[in-house]
Structure 1
């Protein structure tokens, strides 16, 4: 297939692009700056513990989305707040038969599209102000996806895989279409696990359940997952945030296949892992707080659900992000080394 990965030099985009190219697909990545130059010169490099040697994929790399052409599949591997600035260019390469797979954390802009009920086609303002993305991307082109792997960009054009290979997929209307079966097979051929789900929205909430709690708590405390889950106060806070979110989601018809305690236990088992939001904070990057938490609070408002814990953590993390961005700096506490 002809595949375009927007954000193909980033952690998840690079992981996808390298493995899909190795499987024989024609892959174009959209990247910038040093990352673009490195990929054009040396290819896209992916390190995996399961591989004795790095994967070096010779992909086509371009700077402008408009130079891509019309691909069969577009994988949108950028953060939610990065979509609106590129929406016109993105829309220009979505042909009638192109499949667009957004790969953002949090509640996606398309959440209420093709979803019968009182909120059908309701714009999620937190991630799509004025419904601008909805207006320019036909939902018929979109397939939902939940991203589970952990990866990071070690240097420009060099990606390191940490763990995981699951990218569950789902049509917005829950159908088992021919196109989603082909894309699921394409992902499987490249070494990914991409089961087709009838209810992709419930899977989004299952992933979001952890992201919307542990990510902002970790940014506020500079603590890893294991520490948050073992401290009684932060564990209780995470639990209360999850229960508020569960109330919202269940009002929207979502079914959780695990309970709160199991979800917290799963996070604890990950160990001393820094969340992506804590990593962004330490790097001085803009935090994904609107998509991960602001969107959930918005859905709380439209479902008449109180969100005291979610709203408090959101306010604190938003202020933290504002301060870091205003100072154009980064915020990282030194590691404590204990002498024995």
Structure 2
């Protein structure tokens, strides 16, 4: 089984190092100083206070790596469409693309059934680049739970979590899903195959939709924005709007809004990924986490006044940040 991690940053690097440690045939697509460090010194993983270094084949040219059984995409959502063409050398006739990207996935309406079957989301796949270039039949869904960071080029520090939930768009327990689950489990990771992965997508999205943009606008950490009465109320309102949309799409939430917000508070003084990106001068995942929910609101005829307001504000914040303000 050949597995390529496309986007070997924090999460991709963590996954690649765990697979390499278990003897898997894994390769990495990376870039810049991180790639050079991996090539010269190997990929180092710091986990539970222990440091291990793995020699892993890595390149910024997918053509050097050849066709793969699985291509695990761990890029930020907005970074995927521009590199779809570069993925082509990795994709053979039987290759599976594992979509480990935050937010509403571009393949969401593939094999969902009902009147929205086959709907394409322009907020996350403008111009249908992924739908046409990868093809939804190749896709195996994945909800990523671990937190990690690249502490320096070639070094990934694991923070918490080790679950990568997998799921077919049609909910089946396919051979390809079970085979990847077994490979991830052999690497010491939790990799359940879920019949209703979209439910998990929404539970994670619930927090990302609200906590991320609020933190980018206020610079508050999770413990603060989830307990301050004002920002907690805004997050709750956004989540309730999203819940109406999701339930119209057949999603069942295993927890209520208050428990989900309390779970965010329990994480502590954590800076969300959107806030980290803002502070580092990187593009923020606005459309995948917030714009996509607005688009789904329009598709399901569900009003989203609070989501619309926060989306407008965080988009403007992105513009001012791009201007150096």
Contact 1:123/1:130 (CA < 8 Å) preserved in 2? no
1:3 corresponds in structure 2 to 3
Structure (1 or 2) with the greater strand fraction: 2
2:27 corresponds in structure 1 to 28
Matches within 5 A, 1:197-212: 197-212=194-209
Is 2:230 the counterpart of 1:233? yes
Matches within 5 A, 1:1-340: 1-8=1-8, 10-49=9-48, 52-327=49-324
CA RMSD of aligned residues (A): 1.0
- Unpaired runs of at least 5, structure 1: 330-340
Secondary structure, counterpart of 2:120 in structure 1: coil
Secondary structure, counterpart of 1:227 in structure 2: helix
1:336 corresponds in structure 2 to none
Per-residue CA deviations over 1:245-291 (Å, capped at 9, x if unaligned) read 00011111111111101101111111111111111111011000110
Question: What is the CA-CA distance between 1:140 and the residue it aligns to?
Answer: 2.1
Secondary structure, counterpart of 2:101 in structure 1: coil
Contact 1:96/1:141 (CA < 8 Å) preserved in 2? no
Q: What is the TM-score with the length of structure 2 in the denominator? A: 0.98
Question: What is the CA-CA distance between 1:138 and the residue it aligns to?
Answer: 2.4
- Quote the Cα distance in structure 1 between the aligned partners of 2:257 and 2:296: 20
Per-residue CA deviations over 1:99-152 (Å, capped at 9, x if unaligned) read 110111100110111111111111100011121210122222110000111111
Question: What is the CA-CA distance between 1:32 and the residue it aligns to?
Answer: 1.1
Secondary structure, counterpart of 1:110 in structure 2: coil
Question: What is the CA-CA distance between 1:97 and the residue it aligns to?
Answer: 1.3
Question: What is the CA-CA distance between 1:53 and the residue it aligns to?
Answer: 2.7
Secondary structure, counterpart of 2:269 in structure 1: coil
Secondary structure, counterpart of 2:149 in structure 1: strand
Runs of 4 or more above 2 Å deviation: none
Q: What is the TM-score with the length of structure 1 in the denominator? A: 0.94
Per-residue CA deviations over 1:293-325 (Å, capped at 9, x if unaligned) read 000000001111110110111111011011111
Question: What is the CA-CA distance between 1:178 and the residue it aligns to?
Answer: 1.3
